[in-house]
Amino acid sequence: MARALVVQHAAHEGLGWFQDWLPAMALDVHPIHPYLGHRVPATVEGDALIVLGGPMGANDDDTVPWLPGTRELLATAIDDGVPTLGICLGAQLLAVAAGGVVETGANGPELGLGTVEVVESDHLLPEGTLPVVHWHHDTVTKLPSDAVLLASSDAYRVQAYRVGDVAWGLQFHVEATPEMVRDWARHDHVDPEVVDPVRFREGDLRDAGAQIAERFARIVTG
């Protein structure tokens, strides 16, 4: 079975549905938890890299000491052609690692159930409108020079992009379970009504997430 190294930045932002889906698709997942003192390796120890979200900013090096190492790991993965998936904070870290810019979003936080429009489909993202969970305050304001924009929303232009052939950044979440999103709302003191729609659209979210998980696993395993 192929192996994916997973960098998790916070206890409440784990793999969600991916914890079950990816192993079922022949891609084993091996999370490391640098907030608990785990070492971030210099190169990917495995066949793929997944970098998850978190409440910190992509440039908060003064308070989050493992971020420089994570960006270096992402840059090495790009150079080595390792299939890579950055989700939310992971997408922002990937952008900075490749020469892009991340800043506080001018349109304010984007939170709760929403959609993104795929402007260019590829091996990871299918055509059309995807139901997703948004949960971010920062955004990629400048893509890396060699990045390809893949998806946008009404609030923010950069919702998904690809760097090189096999490194993707998703500003949104497709792995998040309703329980995870409720935890985020409690953590961020957000009105729970923002979370309620997730419960009613869980099937759509699961279908979209499962499709992307399957596509990523297929990219890794061939």
Q: What is the CATH number of the domain that holds 185?
A: 3.40.50.880
Q: Is 189 a catalytic residue?
A: no
Whether the per-residue pLDDT at 40 is higher than 90: the answer is yes
Number of independent structural domains in the chain: 1
For position 200, what pLDDT does the model report? 66
Question: Whole domain around residue 89: which residue ranges?
Answer: 2-221
* % of the chain exceeding 90 in pLDDT: 90
Whether the per-residue pLDDT at 189 is higher than 70: the answer is yes
Predicted TM-score (pTM) of the model is: 0.97
Whether the per-residue pLDDT at 195 is higher than 80: the answer is no
User: Which is the catalytic residue, given 88, 110, 134, 136?
Assistant: 88
Please write the tens of the pLDDT for every residue from 18-38.
Answer: 999 999 999 999 999 999 999
Q: Is 173 a catalytic residue?
A: yes
For position 68, what pLDDT does the model report? 98
Q: Is 123 a catalytic residue?
A: no
Whether the per-residue pLDDT at 70 is higher than 90: the answer is yes
State the chain's mean pLDDT as an integer: 95
For position 202, what pLDDT does the model report? 75
**Minimum mean pLDDT among 62-71, 114-123, 190-199, 212-221: which range?**
190-199
Q: Looking at residues 188-212, what average pLDDT do you find?
A: 83
For position 85, what pLDDT does the model report? 99
SS3 annotation, the chain:
CEEEEEECCCCCCCCCCHHHHHHHCCEEEEEECHHHCCCCCCCCCCCEEEECCCCCCCCCCCCCCCHHHHHHHHHHHHHHCCCEEEECHHHHHHHHHCCCEEEECCCCCEEEEEEEEECCCCCCCCCEEEEEEEEECEEEEECCCCEEEEEECCCCCCCEEEECCCEEEECCECCCCHHHHHHHHHHCCCCHHHCHHHHHCHHHHHHHHHHHHHHHHHHHHC
> What band does 142 get if pLDDT is binned at 50, 70 and 90?
very high
User: Which is the catalytic residue, given 9, 134, 136, 173?
Assistant: 173
Please write the tens of the pLDDT for every residue from 79-114.
Answer: 999 999 999 999 999 999 999 999 999 999 999 999
> What band does 192 get if pLDDT is binned at 50, 70 and 90?
confident
* % of the chain exceeding 70 in pLDDT: 98
